Amino acid sequence: MDTLATEHRRDASPTLLALVEQRDWRAARQHALEAAAVAEARNDVGDMLRAGDDLERFNEFAIAGRLLAKGGRVVARTVGLEWDGTYLPGKTLLIEQRIRHAGNLILTARLAGRAAEYAGRCIVLIDPRLVSLVARSFPALEVRPKGIDDEKVRAEADVVASFETLMQHLAPDAATLAGSFSRLRPDASLVRSFRERYRPDGSRLPVIGIAWASDNKDKDLPPLESWAPLLREIPARFISLQYGDVTADLASFEALGAAPWHDPDVDSLRDFDTFAAQVASLDAVVTISNTAAHMAGALGIPTVVALGDRFHLIWPVGESRTPWYPDVVLVRKQGRDWTETMSDVRSCLLKKLAATPE
């Protein structure tokens, strides 16, 4: 999320956090709905953004999308007629990234593919790292890199929308959202190359991607020690999907007898097309909530996500599945220690591997 959006956004209310801590989901959802109504009535940008985030976690996608789209227009200083979800024959619809980071764009990219069916022409202005992947996945879209000739691109539009606007109109509820799933399409030649690299001499061992760390200090994450039994006990080749400098972490894993292999040819922060091909070459992924989770989910790779109990992530509260991705399982800490939680992660991962055809 950009700096301006961060300045407008506020933390969840103490009342809501208390209800979440008690796991009183019904009361928490009702509180979030009431707060959203007040924020919208006051046209309070910060509260609308916060309420939109909160309600997305309760699968209230229509309201969440509306609030995030409204707040996002102010934050991004968007001009032009906002799309109302109706057909636009002969018109150009511009879908622009406004307030959210790459993980959210991976999450919602398929909605842009759906939106192309409503307009004579559909342009997407998006993070340059995602241009190739989104263009390949949804050929009906004209995908342009954000930050290059933006005003010229905007001048071509008759109607504008954000990805949150698309959620409001095209994925208003969990059932509709689940039914809209369409896999991202990685570069097939790159996928073959990674498969050959990760399965030397035709090895039949499963190849599993793993990511364990985040720059987000608000996340409650499993310590490296709690990952080690999983890596040691599951017969597989583990490939690091972790971004950034992993040298120290890999040394720690090595000392624990459980080091994943790090591919120096992949930089998931800079090159999403290569990263998508790497993830698509795998048999499964086990990860915390991060870009790797969204990429694996959007590619349809069997995935297990280890989640702490803090109320700040996009995943639906109190549930083990998400309507965004059909083959992702969420394993929550639920007040336990990470050792016990990661034992459940291991069990879920083994079930995923057992259900995956050879």
Per-residue pLDDT of the chain (358 residues; tens, 9 = 90+): 344 455 455 567 888 888 888 889 999 999 999 999 999 999 999 999 999 999 999 999 999 999 999 999 999 999 999 999 999 999 999 999 998 888 889 999 999 999 999 999 999 999 999 999 999 999 999 999 999 999 999 999 999 999 999 999 999 999 999 999 999 999 999 999 999 999 988 788 999 999 999 888 888 999 999 999 999 999 999 999 999 999 999 999 999 999 899 999 999 889 999 999 999 999 999 999 999 999 999 999 999 999 998 876 789 988 999 999 999 999 999 989 999 999 999 999 999 999 876 6
DSSP characters over 55-100: HHTTT-HHHHHHHHHHHHHHHHT--SPBP-SS-EEEEEEEEE--S-
- Measured CA to CA, the distance from residue 184 to residue 143 in angstroms comes to 14
How many helical (H) and strand (E) elements, i.e. helices and strands, does the chain have?
Answer: 16, 9
Total domains, the chain: 3
* Same structural domain, 304 and 328: yes
Look at the alpha carbons of 141, 145, 147, 149 in this order and tell me if their dihedral is positive or negative.
negative
* Same structural domain, 93 and 227: no
- Measured CA to CA, the distance from residue 192 to residue 188 in angstroms comes to 6
* Same structural domain, 100 and 171: yes
DSSP characters over 11-55: PPPHHHHHHHHTT-HHHHHHHHHHHHHHHHHHT-HHHHHHHHHHH
* Same structural domain, 347 and 211: yes
> Where in the sequence is the domain holding 305, given as residue range(s)?
188-353
> Domain containing 336 — which CATH number?
3.40.50.2000
Which one of 26, 49, 76 terminates a domain?
76
Residue 82 inside a domain? The answer is no
* Same structural domain, 226 and 316: yes
Torsion, Cα 305 310 316 319, to 10 degrees, reads: 70
* Same structural domain, 68 and 95: no
* Same structural domain, 210 and 340: yes
